[in-house]
Chains A and B, each alone.
Chain A
Amino acid sequence: MSKRRKFNVLDHVLVPKHEIVPDSEVDSVLKQFKIDSKKHLPKILSTDPAIKAIRAKEGDVIRIYREEPTGKVIYYRLVV
């Protein structure tokens, strides 16, 4: 063991897949939920380890593929 490999949260089993929603798709997401502003989306801190790992910036919309006891759900969050 010479060098410690850097740990990547995204590889962990308990961390669902996070991805940045491209700007072009943001509008359709807002339309899907019938909301007029990104501000009405749930928030996620820019200091969140998963957000750091995917290098998202403040104002980005994140898509999270969560697996809940009730089934697979797609969550959207706004980085703040």
Chain B
Amino acid sequence: MVQVTEKKIRSIKFSVFSPEMIRKMSVIKVTVPDTYNEDGYPIDGGLMDQHMGVIDPGLRCKTCGGSVHTCPGHFGHIDLVRPVLHSEFAGVVASLLKATCSSCSRALFKKKSKKVGEIEKMLTEEEMISAMKKVKKCPHCGAKQEEIKFEKPTTIMEGKRVLLPIEMRERLSKIPDEDLELIGIDPKSARPEWMVLTALLIPPVQMRPSIILETGQRSEDDITHKLVDIIRINQRLDANLNAGAPQLIIEDLWELLQYHVTTYFNNESANIPPARHRSGRALKTLSQRLKGKEGRFRYNLSGKRVNFSSRTVVSPDPNISIDEVGVPSAVAEELMVPIYVTPWNIETCKELMKRKEFPKVLYITSPDGRRRRLIESNLDELLELVDVGWVLERQLKDGDPVIFNRQPSLHRISMMCHKVKVLPGKTFRLHVAVCPPYNADFDGDEMNLHVPQAFEAMAEAEELMLVSKQIISPRHGKAIIQPNEDHLTGAYLLTRKSVKLTRKDAMKLLGAVGIFELPKPNSKGMYAGKDVFSMLLPKDFNIEYRTKLCKEVNDCSKSKCPYDGYVIIKNGVLKHGVMEKKGLAGLVIEKLFNEYGSEVARDFIDRITLMSVYAITHFGFSVGVNNYRLDSKAKSKIDEIRTKAIKEVETLIVKYNNKTLARLPGKTLLETLEEKVMVLLGKARDSTGIVLREHFGNDNSSIVMADIGSRGSMLNAIQMSAFLGQQAVRGKRVKRGYKGRVLPHFKGRDLGAYARGFVGRSFMDGLTPTEYFFHAAGGRESIVNTAIRTARSGYMQRRLINALQDLYVDYDKTVKDADGSIVQPLYGGDGKDPMKVGIKKEKV
């Protein structure tokens, strides 16, 4: 038995290494700026010295005696002949020098009375330091303080003189412990002089392994390269010091050493050129290893990669259920599901092992953890051995629960549980109705699939994440998995009043969804489309609502609606009204979900898509240019609307020029004009809708789709047939460009409709060059906006996730954080879950 000891981390303390500590930790002093000799052995005293660990198989660590697999690596060190400033601490050092006396090194602050002591308590450490920085004369020794300036990354100036690291170190080491505490530094764990390095810790070889190229050549890690530079300069500086070289040369070398040490810690420090590899690539040093998206934290620690997963392109399949996912057979053969052998399933397991076809058992693990591949030659042997406690690994088969995901995983419904359906082909097949939660389309999108490996995981996925349980969105409590586009159109076509189907057609429609009984035919032996549709509904289903087709604002004639726009479903029979977006993709599904449960709703969506696809192919439905062509009568009507609007704009401009235009409250005269023109032209465009509807009639495919909400809007039809209307940039008429005009094609100071971005032509007519320009200006704005919005909202999302990840709703509906503190006494102020508000109380 493994003994498990549970410990809690109460706190973490970060501190600075002292030179003594570095030397104590170090197993070897590195003096040779080289790695391997000609024979390929690590050089003693070099950067790959075997005391610091080994990376070559066969060699043994000279410190612990371990091999490649057992030696954890040990630190070495370099003694720097002259101290250098640690660049990451340079800011702290500069602050400390500013806050202390240049001659006596006491903090520039004197405890005078109790009152001061109180001030001390009130001020934060940062405030203390900034107060001390302003002191001109030392309150202890009276020495005048010169101004200290800090230049990134490592230069500190006193007046006009550059301070040498050796001087900084001396001053810092003279600061008394009590003064440090005042400043907010714990002298026991971080004496400030330790921030000026006299010894440099060298990380173990394991942290910077060299790689062997195909040519047999060794290529060293960037950090090793940097360390070679440091040792080399350190040696040269030492030699020059011993030879008594002139101060100038010494200082140059010293500065070079400082540069190398700085870039060793961070090769992206401000104001210094990054150290480069021979190839010209900037070296990846310590800081670069940890920082940013590709750094150790975000890439390796927060972002781990997993097994039992798969990724490929998605494509649509309306024939599978919404909670299924079509998995290519090649993927299913590769992914494994564990089967735990128990006294109850041992016989089944043995049968499974004997299988020679697709869902095969490929691996078998005994209780001692030995994993074996099951092959024909060892089948008999393993059949004998297998017993309770063994684990078989079986290929993925139909019905297995898997988690399906599309990035960016912005909300819970970006990952849902689907049931596997193994299909030929190379893509994951996805029901079109589940595209909205994933925000998926089929223009090349790829999705990921994960196979849960434990019963708990499988159960959790099925109970909490199953697609059919996510039909209602947690965001607004309305359906998010719903029929759309052609499925709506098909359902509409089927449920129109006039639809009468022959017995054969009715049987085909119902057979497609697996219903093998017929509704009651009429006297002529025909079947109403509404009755065929009704077969999908539960027998006690009742609902009444006004559809999108409803045109009466106040008075509803209900069942006498001329557009068949009032739906009455009584006892599972559609008596009146047609199916369209509001009902089929909303009310009906939500009611089914809330009152009959997720499985009934799922089944309904599955069946309505199948029936609709059949219906739309049966009735035929297409859109083309001819849907948008106008006759001369309609054209002249639209011309009339346009001309009238432009004339009205002109009269407004005349009024504006005469200053007879009445100002709107809070607006200038010009603003008033602009607003009025925008409103006017907007209204003009909208009014063409009536003309189009009159001309096209209600059976025009484009109008039908707009009316029932399956695709497109009235505006789209208007812009194709009538005219585009006013183009806007930042919500106003297009304004900027040349002085007084947008384009040189217009006269200066022309405020007319056409000069300010009104497009009087339709996509069918074709736009003039200036109109095309205006349209592009308006279109660009929306593209720029989406580009900016996605980038910004992504970052906001990241910050919110990090801030809220530990919050949870407790059993008493309070929101608490990780340590049990209350964030909200009642979730959302009302303790309600939007996903469940529709569900009736007694059903919960």
Which stretch from B260-268, B572-580, B814-822 is at the chain A interface?
A: B814-822
Of the listed stretches A4-12, A18-26, A50-58, A64-72, name the one at the interface; the rest are far from the partner chain: A64-72
- B810, B822, B826, B832 — most chain A CB neighbours (10 Å): B822
Which residues does chain A contribute within 8 Å of B822, judged by CB atoms?
Answer: 33, 35, 40-42, 76
A71 to B826, alpha carbons, bound, how many Å? 11
Q: How far is the CA of A71 from the CA of B215 in the complex (A)?
A: 74
A1 within 8 A of B: no
Which B residues lie within 8 Å of A40 (CB)?
816, 819-822
User: B820 contacts which chain A residues (CB < 8 A)?
Assistant: 35, 40
Interface residues in A30-80 (C-beta closer than 8 Å to B): 32-35, 39-42, 66, 68-71, 73-76
A69 to B832, CA, bound (A): 13
Main secondary structure of the interface of B (DSSP, over half): loop
Query: Does B812 have its Cβ within 8 Å of any Cβ on chain A?
Result: yes
B825 touches A73 (CB 8 A): yes
What residue in chain A is nearest B821 (Cβ atoms)?
A40
Across-interface contacts of B825 in A (CB, < 8 A): 33, 73-76
Q: How many residues of B contact A (CB 8 A)?
A: 15
Complex Cα–Cα for A35 and B823 (A): 12
What is the CA–CA distance of A39 and B817 in the complex, to the nearest angstrom?
Answer: 13
Specify which of A35, A39, A68, A76 is in contact with B829 (CB 8 Å cutoff). A68
B226 CB to nearest chain A CB (Å): 48
B821 and A73 contact, CB distance less than 8 A:
no
Number of contacts between A and B (CB, 8 Å)? 38
Q: Is B828 an interface residue (CB 8 A)?
A: yes
Chain A interface mostly helix, strand, loop or mixed? mixed
Measured between alpha carbons, how far is A19 from B829 in the docked complex, in Å? 19
Judge if B118 is at the interface, Cβ distance under 8 Å.
no
How many angstroms from the CA of A75 to the CA of B826 in the assembled complex? 9
Q: Is B381 an interface residue (CB 8 A)?
A: no
**Are A70 and B828 in contact, CB atoms less than 8 angstroms apart?**
yes
Question: With contacts A33-B814, A34-B812 known, is A71 near B823, CB below 8 A?
Answer: no
Set of chain A residues within 8 Å of B830, measured between Cβ atoms: 70-71, 73
Minimum Cβ distance to chain B for residue A63 (Å): 10
What residue in chain B is nearest A36 (Cβ atoms)? B820
Q: Which of B814, B816, B821, B829 contacts A70 (CB 8 A)?
A: B829
Whether B821 lies near A39 (C-beta < 8 A) is: yes
Name the residue of chain B whose CB is nearest to the CB of A41. B822
Query: In the complex, which residues of chain B have a beta carbon less than 8 angstroms from the beta carbon of A33?
Result: 812, 814, 822, 825
Distance in angstroms between the alpha carbons of A69 and B830 in the assembled complex: 9
A69–B814 CA distance with the chains assembled, in angstroms: 18
Q: Chain B residues near A66 (CB, 8 Å)?
A: 829
Chain B minimum-CB-distance residue to A39: B821
Q: How far is the CA of A40 from the CA of B817 in the complex (A)?
A: 9
Q: State A38–B828 Cα separation when bound (angstroms).
A: 22
10 A-B pairs closest in CB distance: A70-B829, A70-B830, A68-B829, A40-B821, A71-B830, A73-B829, A40-B820, A33-B814, A73-B826, A33-B822
- Residue numbers of A with Cβ under 8 A of B are 32-35, 39-42, 66, 68-71, 73-76
Listed by A's residue number, 5 A-B pairs whose Cβ atoms lie within 8 Å are A34-B810, A40-B820, A41-B822, A42-B822, A70-B828
10 further interface pairs, Cβ-Cβ under 8 Å (given A35-B821, A42-B822): A33-B822, A33-B825, A34-B810, A40-B820, A40-B821, A42-B821, A68-B829, A69-B829, A70-B828, A73-B825
